[in-house]
Amino acid sequence: MLFKLTKKGNPSFSRMDPILGELFLAAALDPWERYPEAGARLLPLPGEDEGLRLDWQDHVQPELRRHFDHERSLVAHDLRFGMIKGRGKTDVYSLEIPIEHVDAWLTTLNALRLALVEGHGFTEADLLRKTLPDLSSERGLALMQMNFYAFIQECLLQAMEGLAEENG
């Protein structure tokens, strides 16, 4: 897989193996639906104060949930209209992400990574392990998915940092 910025400044991923393309397509999954046990981590409470907690549940959490759903809808749009499946000796995918959608991608990938951790009970040791996970198990695949999304986030963060430096 290759990563670069286009002339427009959009992050672009190309020559993706099909499995990576499929992982990209899974980025728009609804983490609340797929991993309901992650709800408390995705929408945490602000502290111990009972009044504040109630206020948060009534007003802030619904607003944040709408925000996350909106960001995820932008990612789904990019995947639907920006993901290209090319044909060569083997199928390869490419994807160009509009620079103005990068925040939505960072948030959506983060939400999904957090949900994967909660859903599969990954520990800090699991996350720091440098060896390849057991890809014959669902848990191992989920760990690879999480690490792949972290790599995509790093690419997007570097792209934003590079653009910020260019713009002074």
Partner 1 sequence: MVKPGILESPETDLSESLSLPWHVVVHNDPVNLMSYVTMVFRRIFGWDTERARKHMLEVHTKGRSVVWSGRREQAEHYVQQLHSFLLLATLEKSS
Q: Are 35 and 116 in contact (CB under 8 A)?
A: yes
| Token pair 């997007």: residue | 156
- Does 124 bind partner 1 (CB under 8 A)? Our answer is yes
- Does 150 bind partner 1 (CB under 8 A)? Our answer is yes
Site string for partner 1, 35-74 (x = CB under 8 A): -------xxxxxx-x--x-------x---x--x-------
- Does 163 bind partner 1 (CB under 8 A)? Our answer is no
Name which of 69, 71, 77 is nearest 95 in CA terms. 77
Name the DSSP letter for residue 167. Answer: T
Q: Which stretch binds partner 1 (CB under 8 A): 3-11, 15-23, 73-81, 158-166?
A: 158-166
Least Å distance, CB 84 to partner 1, is 27
- Does 117 bind partner 1 (CB under 8 A)? Our answer is yes
Q: Which stretch binds partner 1 (CB under 8 A): 1-9, 77-85, 133-141, 152-160?
A: 152-160
Helix (H, G, I), strand (E, B) or coil at 97: coil
Q: Which is nearer to partner 1, 5 or 83 (CB)?
A: 5
Please enumerate, as own/partner, the contacts of 152-157 that have beta carbons within 8 Å and a separation of 24 or more: 152/13, 152/24, 152/105, 152/109, 153/106, 153/109, 153/110, 155/3, 155/11, 155/13, 156/11, 156/97, 156/102, 156/105, 156/106, 157/106
At position 94, the amino acid (one-letter code) is S
Q: Which stretch binds partner 1 (CB under 8 A): 75-83, 85-93, 109-117, 129-137?
A: 109-117
| Footprint of partner 1 (CB under 8 A) | 42-47, 49, 52, 60, 64, 67, 106-107, 110-111, 113-114, 117, 124, 127-128, 150, 153-154, 157-158, 160-161
